[in-house]
Amino acid sequence: MNQLYRFLVLLLLIPNLILSQDISIRNTKSKLNKDIPLLKKKKTTVIFSYNVIGCICPNWKNKNDFYYLEPINNRVKNASDLWKGNNLPLIVKLTGSLVEENGYPNYFTDKQLNKGAKKGKVFRYTKIEVIAK
């Protein structure tokens, strides 16, 4: 009877445990094969400026916060490709959404992660306009 009771309790709890788990979308095209966090719902237009920083960390600044910028797909220009090593100020205007969880942009490689890349805010954008370069 005791084992039957435990079994029935487990049957009742398992669906709740499964439903309470965070469901994410698997990015099968990424070399890192990592989960893509869901976007915050509100799409917005934001201006970012590039900052030269000597680490593998977010280097695009808006107000007092630093971000990784991530194009929604490979048809949208990657803002990080605009940096040529000597073209400051580099300023872009992006339309997109902030990813809910801190992490890395999808274009990061295993090599970058292994060199100690730091997690940060990720702004995923659908539209880019270069203001200054």
For the chain, the structural domain boundaries read: 28-132
CA–CA separation, 48 vs 129, rounded Å? 11
Residue-level pLDDT, tens digit, the chain, 133 residues: 556 555 554 444 444 433 333 333 333 333 333 444 555 668 899 999 999 988 889 999 999 999 999 999 999 999 989 988 888 899 999 999 999 999 999 999 988 888 888 999 999 999 999 999 8
CA–CA separation, 37 vs 112, rounded Å? 20
pTM of the model: 0.68
Q: Which 3 state secondary structure label does DSSP give 42?
A: coil
Show the tokens assigned to 128: 């880019």
Measured CA to CA in angstroms, residue 49 lies from 3, 7, 56, 100, 120 at distances of 63, 58, 17, 21, 16
